[in-house]
Amino acid sequence: MISKLFKNVSNRRSFLGAGALLPLVPLFSSTNTSADNPADPKSICKSPLAHAGGMTTVGNVDHLRNGFDPHNLLTDWETGTVEKDSAGKTIRKFEIIAVDTEIEIAPGVFFPAWTYNGRVPGPTIRATEGEFLQIKFINMGSHPHSMHFHGIHSAKMDGISGAGLVDPGEEFVYEFRADPFGCHLYHCHVAPLKRHIHKGLYGAFIVDPDPKLHPQNTTTALSRQLGTDENMHWQELVMVMNAFDTNFDEENEIYAVNTIAHEYSKRPIKIDKQRPVRIYLINVTEFDPINSFHIHGNFFDYFDHGTTLTPTLNKVDTVMQCQAQRGIIEMSFSNHEPGHYMFHAHQSEFAELGWMSMFEVV
């Protein structure tokens, strides 16, 4: 009967808490009871650890075993191999293989992922506006997969059922022109979509503007084109906001940029304050309607989808994206004091579940 009595009591804010018994003591004893008095602030958690740095995953991820380091993912551009056709136009060829891989997404937590080239997010495919792309996709996974590019292409190259859906052991070559320039993504478009995406089949697809086609904004376009002198001045980073539902209850247990929870807060990203920062930000988070990016102590210009050379948002410090929405963030720390500048999702929930990061400005 007793345990039932206790269970029936309202969970929250019981005005007669269990503590109501202990204050009975002064009736019988003359000793001071402050140590057990629930109203005494000293009686709550006073561990210094609890308030400073308590919020964290515990331990370290073995990046070697995973086969990829999130710090390398930031700047790892997959530019493929280049050929010229008879007319002298550039053909850029890529090879992507889908494989089932178990990856460690937080220290000691292993996730049975489906991946492009064994990594999550998949390789950052980077090309220049107007180039002809040939992406050979080989499916070595256990389920049918595809590569559905966000870009302009013909219906038969769409990466959906009947147009580039690849059964296990088969392959397919997606062909289209890199268009429009911007910050895009690709992902598997096989049903059930939710499962295929959140298991890890997504990646960044960046199309740099061709400076020749933008005479009014040549300098800006040059700064965006990989490998130019103007571009070398920039510190470019690709950040894919993703999350993992480890117990398959359609809710995420772990959030991150580039897969590994809390990785960039444990090992901050080094930023040279003399060089401007450009972030290719992509949201692929499944199950939650939106994700967001917020920078501490600074403001940035934002180019929605990256399809313009002038900002679509000026001077903001927070931006939100729905799934598959993406954009380019440009900011500078040139007038800042060196130090650690935090950036994270401004859904506190996501931040505390892993999407928490740090720039170390030097």
Partner 1 sequence: MVYNRIAFFVVLIMLGVISLAIYVFNPLDDFDNNLPPEESLIIERVTSGPDGFTAYVRGNGREPIKISQVQVDGAFWNFRQIPEGPINQLATAKILIPYPWVQNETHHLLFLSSTGATYDYTIDVAYKAPSPNKKTLFSLALIGICVGVIPITLGMLSLPLLRLIGDNSIVFFMSLTIGLLGYLFVDTLEEGLELTKISANAFQGSLSVLLASVLTFLGILAISWRSKPSTDGIILATWLAIGIGLHNFGEGLSIGAALSLGNAALGSMLLIGFAIHNLTEGVAIIAPITKQKVTFGMLLCWLCLAGLPAIAGTWIGTFTFAPHWNALFFGIAAGAIAQVIIEVTRSIWVMRVNLGDKFIVSNAFAGFGMGILVMYTTAFLIQV
Q: Based on CB atoms, which residue is closest to partner 1, 1 or 87?
A: 1
Total chain residues near partner 1 (CB under 8 A)? 62
Residue 221 beta carbon to partner 1: minimum distance, rounded to whole angstroms: 42
What lies within 8 Å, CB to CB, of 178 at 6+ separation is 92, 127, 128, 129, 130, 131, 132, 133, 151, 207
Residue 250 beta carbon to partner 1: minimum distance, rounded to whole angstroms: 13
- Output phi, psi for 195, to 5 deg: -65, -45
Interface residue with partner 1, options 164, 203, 209, 354 (CB under 8 A): 354
Q: Based on CB atoms, which residue is closest to partner 1, 21 or 64?
A: 21
**206 close to 184: Cβ distance less than 8 angstroms:** yes
Which residue in the block uniquely carries the two structure tokens 């050379």? 309
Distance (Å, whole) CA 232 – CA 246? 39
How would you classify the pairing of strands 202-208 and 81-84?
A: unpaired
Distance (Å, whole) CA 328 – CA 47? 41
Residue 261 beta carbon to partner 1: minimum distance, rounded to whole angstroms: 7
Interface residue with partner 1, options 3, 86, 216, 335 (CB under 8 A): 3
Q: How many CA atoms lie within 13 A of 106 on its CB side?
A: 22
* x/- track of binding to partner 1 for residues 202-241 (CB under 8 A): ----------------------------------------
Restricting to residues 138-177, name those near partner 1 by CB under 8 A.
none
Q: Which residues pair with residue 132 across a beta bridge?
A: 91, 177
Restricting to residues 81-110, name those near partner 1 by CB under 8 A.
106-110
What lies within 8 Å, CB to CB, of 145 at 6+ separation is 98, 114, 137, 139, 165, 166, 188, 190, 196, 201
Residue 273 beta carbon to partner 1: minimum distance, rounded to whole angstroms: 30
Interface residue with partner 1, options 36, 62, 167, 170 (CB under 8 A): 36
Q: Based on CB atoms, which residue is closest to partner 1, 252 or 325?
A: 252
Q: Based on CB atoms, which residue is closest to partner 1, 244 or 343?
A: 244
Sole window of 205-213, 267-275, 284-292, 351-359 interacting with partner 1 (rule: CB under 8 A): 351-359
Three-class secondary structure of residue 180 per DSSP = coil
Interface residue with partner 1, options 79, 134, 217, 246 (CB under 8 A): 246
The count of other CB atoms within 10 Å of the CB of residue 187 is 27
**191 close to 160: Cβ distance less than 8 angstroms:** no
Sole window of 90-98, 145-153, 155-163, 244-252 interacting with partner 1 (rule: CB under 8 A): 244-252
What ranges make up the beta strands (E) of 144-234?
148-149, 171-177, 182-187, 202-208
Which residue in the block uniquely carries the two structure tokens 């799934």? 323
Residue 122 beta carbon to partner 1: minimum distance, rounded to whole angstroms: 21
Residue 33 beta carbon to partner 1: minimum distance, rounded to whole angstroms: 7
Give the type of residue at 295: I
57 near partner 1, rule: CB under 8 A: yes
Q: Based on CB atoms, which residue is closest to partner 1, 85 or 249?
A: 249
**298 close to 341: Cβ distance less than 8 angstroms:** yes
* Nearest one of 359, 297, 80 to 207, comparing CA atoms: 80
Residue 101 beta carbon to partner 1: minimum distance, rounded to whole angstroms: 14
Restricting to residues 331-350, name those near partner 1 by CB under 8 A.
349
Give the type of residue at 332: S
- Residues lying near partner 1 in the complex (CB under 8 A) are found at 1-14, 16-22, 24-25, 28-29, 31, 33, 36, 38, 42-47, 49-51, 53-59, 106-111, 244, 246-247, 249, 253, 261-262, 349, 352-354
